[in-house]
């Protein structure tokens, strides 16, 4: 349980919060396809009308798409959030609007929630809970949260209850998304983005979010790894949890979303709260970012949705996380590349950072890579200068803003990172709103360097400090091994990618050679036809009734001008050359 001494004073009273609205009109899964089709047609009609009257701006388009995704909920919010990460798919104004998508909707009746709890537990709700508040605290498109008290443990808990028929609605929506992506691929819309791969990302994310057993597992695992970070995670109560309900400890604290609201409306009261609860905003910002980097690169399990509604502020600059439905992990080799990329960005090794950035793409074009690298390095140097000016707005200095710009520039050269890279960047982007208020003058280079210093210190703490033979300590030896491993991963990956580019270039050259041989074979075939014509013209005058009279050809091809054997030899030679050229064309055109 959370130490009571860490529970801070209230910043926003419950009475000042607007009550959650309840929507008693329920759209059943059987009606979903018709409702969705109608909403899509209405969206297309509104966009078409605004375009015809010349009032369709990029921001207006983004607003329409955001409102559509918000109304449809469940899957469509996830689609909008994924698209907001891709600078190569939509203009900045559209992505900016989609980035505002929050999974916050009206709740459904608490009586329905109680019925679902009893159905899932297989017994009356009173056998598990001493109290159950039917008024939801918060609601999202997949489920909503109720406050309750466990009967046996006599502790206050939060119970997350899934919406009725939400899985069936998701399946129907998924069919529509597959159809839309099929159409986009058919018309060759942004083929480099590999929209089909986005389907896999969506299906994996939704599969976990629709089954609360995954979230319970994420909670237990992250609770162990977050404790050394000074970050708290709630306790899960398995006996009152199933696939569709999740019972967890109710964490008392100040939501970061409430903190941001007070920061905008009443800064003096916020300053008093800082002092009363011994909260240092800069320290909270560093703990938040460093904890995320530790989760991603040291623990290999990270909370991937750290928006302000999922961060709780505690006393003594401590924090707690909520909502573990979105947790990410990375394949080992990919994780090492991302780790080295972030470190290269923080230590201002921009040429190395760009080389590593190229490794996040499935394939690279055979031309323009050096131009792309020069452009990216130039943009990184500009970002570096911006980050040193403390008076500039926070949003133009963030690491996420720079990675977004890199994706946009690289797309112009045909380079597109894989979707796994965007899962990581989105997880970092969700923290920007909190970091902006907590540490507006932050220099991300220093924050990343600070993380790596702490990481090295933690590594040293795990190693015996006794010196080995000679003057080399065990610590120094292990650090050298670590550096060699990183260098091997980096160089090996670069060599493999260079080989891929060389292979692509070689394939294009071979295809060009094959076409040249094909042209040569065609020319040889044409010469054979011309020679046949000449032989007929010279030796078979009786066939020339249908031929035109050619005085110049008559003078050149007199009956004794060229012997028949010579004509035959020339024809055989040309036939041989044509055959060899045709064979070579097939050999060079053969895929490898």
So which residues are the catalytic ones? 305
Cross-strand bridge partners of residue 146: 159
Residue 330's nearest CA partner among 207, 213, 423, 224 is 423
Q: Please, are residues 66 and 80 in contact by the beta-carbon 8 Å criterion?
A: yes
Q: How far is CA 164 from CA 78, 98, 429, 454, in A?
A: 19, 27, 31, 46
**Rounded Cα–Cα distance for residues 125 and 298 (Å):** 41
**Token pair 């919010």 in the structure block, residue:** 77
Token pair 């349980």 in the structure block, residue: 1
End-to-end Cα separation, the chain, in angstroms: 61
CA angle (419 as vertex; 448, 62 as ends), nearest 5: 95
Which of 369, 361, 362, 360 is CA-nearest to residue 340? 360
**Token pair belonging to 121:** 């537990």
3-state secondary structure 445-501: HHHHHHHHHHHHHHHHHCCCCCECCCCCEHHHHHHHHHHHHHHHHHHHHHHHHHHHH
Quick one: tokens of 590?
Answer: 């053969």
161 vs 244, 426, 461, CA distance in Å? Answer: 6, 26, 43
Task: In whole angstroms, give the CA distance from residue 331 to residue 515.
Answer: 42
Helix (H, G, I), strand (E, B) or coil at 417: strand
Burial class (CB in 10 A: 0-12, 13-18, 19+), 424: buried
Q: Are strands 319-321 and 311-313 parallel, antiparallel or unpaired?
A: antiparallel
Asked if 336 and 325 count as a contact pair (C-beta separation under 8 A), the reply is no
Q: Are strands 254-255 and 319-321 parallel, antiparallel or unpaired?
A: unpaired
Q: Are 328 and 338 in contact (CB under 8 A)?
A: no
> Measuring CA to CA, which residue among 125, 110, 121, 101 is closest to residue 22?
110
Beta bridge partners of 248: 158, 236
Which one-letter DSSP state was computed for residue 164?
A: T
119 vs 245: CA distance, rounded Å: 10
């Amino acid at each position: 349980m959370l130490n009571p001494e860490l529970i801070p004073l209230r910043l926003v009273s419950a009475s000042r919060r607007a009550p959650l609205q309840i929507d008693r009109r329920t759209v059943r899964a059987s009606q979903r396809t018709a409702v969705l089709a109608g909403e899509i047609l209405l969206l297309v009609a509104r966009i078409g009308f605004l375009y015809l009257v010349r009032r369709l701006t990029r921001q207006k388009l983004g607003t329409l798409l955001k409102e559509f995704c918000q109304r449809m909920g469940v899957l469509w919010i996830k689609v909008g959030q994924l698209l907001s990460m891709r600078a190569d798919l939509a203009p900045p104004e559209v992505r900016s609007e989609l980035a505002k998508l929050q999974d916050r909707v009206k709740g459904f009746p608490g009586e329905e929630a109680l019925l679902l709890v009893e159905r899932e537990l297989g017994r009356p709700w009173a056998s598990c809970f001493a109290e159950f508040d039917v008024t939801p605290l918060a609601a999202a498109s997949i489920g909503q949260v109720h406050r309750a008290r466990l009967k046996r443990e006599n502790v206050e808990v939060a119970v997350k209850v899934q919406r009725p028929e939400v899985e069936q609605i998701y399946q129907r929506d998924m069919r529509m998304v597959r159809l839309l992506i099929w159409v986009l691929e058919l018309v060759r819309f942004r083929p480099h983005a590999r929209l089909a791969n986005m389907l896999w990302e969506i299906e994996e994310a939704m599969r976990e979010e629709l089954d609360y057993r995954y979230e319970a597992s994420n909670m237990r695992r992250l609770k162990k790894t977050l404790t050394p970070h000074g970050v708290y995670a709630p306790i899960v109560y398995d006996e009152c949890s199933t696939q569709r309900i999740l019972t967890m400890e109710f964490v008392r604290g100040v939501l970061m979303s409430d903190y941001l609201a007070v920061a905008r409306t009443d800064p003096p009261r916020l300053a008093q709260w800082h002092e009363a609860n011994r909260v240092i905003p800069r320290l909270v910002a560093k703990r938040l970012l460093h904890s995320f980097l530790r989760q991603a690169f040291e623990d290999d399990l990270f909370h991937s949705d750290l928006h302000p509604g999922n961060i709780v502020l505690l006393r003594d600059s401590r924090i707690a996380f909520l909502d573990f439905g979105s947790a990410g992990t990375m394949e080992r080799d990919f994780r090492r590349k991302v780790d080295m990329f972030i470190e290269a960005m923080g230590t201002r090794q921009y040429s190395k950072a760009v080389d590593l950035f190229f490794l996040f793409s499935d394939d690279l074009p055979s031309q323009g890579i050096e131009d792309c690298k020069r452009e990216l390095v130039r943009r990184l140097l500009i970002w570096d200068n911006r980050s040193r000016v403390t008076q500039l707005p926070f949003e133009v200095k963030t690491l996420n803003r720079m990675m977004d710009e890199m994706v946009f520039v690289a797309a112009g050269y045909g380079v597109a990172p894989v979707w796994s890279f965007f899962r990581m960047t989105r997880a970092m982007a969700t923290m920007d709103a909190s970091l902006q208020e907590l540490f507006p003058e932050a220099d991300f280079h220093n924050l990343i360097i600070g993380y790596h210093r702490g990481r090295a210190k933690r590594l040293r703490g795990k190693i015996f400090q006794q010196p080995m033979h000679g003057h080399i300590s065990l610590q120094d030896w292990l650090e050298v091994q670590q550096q060699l491993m990183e260098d091997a991963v980096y160089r090996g990956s670069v060599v493999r990618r260079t080989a891929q580019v060389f292979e692509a270039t070689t394939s294009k050259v071979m295809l060009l050679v094959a076409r040249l041989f094909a042209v040569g074979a065609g020319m040889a075939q044409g010469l054979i036809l011309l020679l046949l014509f000449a032989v007929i013209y010279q030796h078979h005058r009786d066939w020339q009734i249908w031929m035109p009279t050619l005085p110049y050809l008559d003078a050149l091809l007199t009956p004794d001008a060229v012997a028949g054997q010579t004509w035959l030899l020339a024809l055989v030679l040309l036939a041989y050359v044509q055959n060899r050229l045709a064979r070579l064309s097939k050999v060079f055109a053969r895929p490898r």
